[in-house]
Amino acid sequence: MKWLLIGVLVVFLLLGGFLLSPSPVDSQAWAPPPPPAMTGPLSANQHLRLADLLAKGQVYGPEDTAVDGQGRVYAGTQDGKIVRVWPDGRVEEWLQTGGRPLGMVFDGDGRLIVADAWKGLLAITPDGEISVLSREAEGLPYRFTDDVDIAPDGRIYFTDASSRFEQPDYKLDLLEMRPHGRLLRYDPATGKSEVLLGNLHFANGVAVSPDGSYVLVNETWKYRILRYWISGRDAGQAEVFADNLPGFPDNLAVDQQGRYWVAFPSLRNEQIDTLHLHPWLKDLVAKLPDGLKPKPEAYGLVVALDDQGAVITSLHDTRGSHLQEITSVNPSGGYLYFGSLHNDRIGRLALHAIPGLGDINE
């Protein structure tokens, strides 16, 4: 009986300490819309399993990719490196940023422009010289520089996913469900950055339209994509481009046919949608170890949208055994390249091999 009482007391103290300890988040309620039906162009298939696998087992977390004029594939990895995969399959550790390189794109001068979660907006010359273009905008430093794209006029559009939580704590940003994200623009002519849109629920992928008239930005936690008009009668205004998506949209990119490709690291999660209705419960869940928090299912998903936000087609790996947790999709040279936050490979799929798209190359 004595040991039973001691055990009950220990449990009571531990539970009391857990309940009374401060939460790392100040959660807000949100009522998500019901998930869309996975029918029609969203119907499950195994198209992602047709992809070739580059650098399998030789990289960890190639979150985004970019392809240079020599056909070399660049990717930023979990340990802060940027690697190059040569056409012959050789993997080269090119350089170390000292941060966490995420979104990347080449500019007109052959520099690799990188959104580094820790370091800010970087420019890297072909010789590997790294310079910091921007670390803050309007007096607020970036805490989670995420994705980047370049407009035809050379101005750089990028995101600060959260001004409160850094990259390892993205789940806390999700639970808190407060708008800490920003869409930004860097002007190489002035060296200045400005905020175009604030108060976004995890500002993630960006893609500038081919004519430079607007830029799309993913608002990941709200399962939607916004369109910000750069020019025209609605310049400076934003609107919803695609809403109630089937998962958490990450990076996105546009191909030469004007199709927008969206990467989804995870499908919608019923547990998360339910938690959003109860802020007090989210505050408690935020205090749990990561291993006890809701987990995404292993799944691979990429969706193509037209210039009005309608779904054209989708690519799936329903088991997530070939490609899963896809965080980026990069159209280049007639192929799609797929990155992942934690996987050990880069996917590559020929556009002409995708059923329903026809024999279309970039």
Strands 81-85, 145-150: pairing is unpaired
Strands 120-124, 326-332: pairing is unpaired
Q: What architecture does CATH give domain 28-353?
A: 6 Propeller (2.120)
Sequence ranges of the domains in the chain: 28-353
Query: What string of pLDDT tens digits covers the 362 residues of the chain?
Result: 444 333 333 433 344 454 668 999 999 999 999 999 999 999 999 999 999 999 999 999 999 999 999 999 999 999 999 999 999 999 999 999 999 999 999 999 999 999 999 999 999 999 999 999 999 999 999 999 999 999 999 999 999 999 999 999 999 999 999 999 999 999 999 999 999 999 999 999 999 999 999 999 999 999 999 999 999 999 999 999 999 999 999 999 999 999 999 999 999 999 999 999 999 999 999 999 988 888 889 999 999 999 999 999 999 999 999 999 999 999 999 999 999 999 999 999 999 999 877 544 44
Return the H-helix or E-strand segment holding 20: helix 2-20
Instruction: Report whether 336 contacts 345 (CB < 8 A).
Output: no
Compute the distance between CA of residue 276 and CA of residue 249 in angstroms, rounded to an integer.
Answer: 18
Main-chain phi, psi angles of 31, to 5 degrees: -105, 100
| Bridge partners of residue 136, in order along the sequence | 141
Compute the distance between CA of residue 313 and CA of residue 308 in angstroms, rounded to an integer.
Answer: 14
| pTM for the full predicted model | 0.93
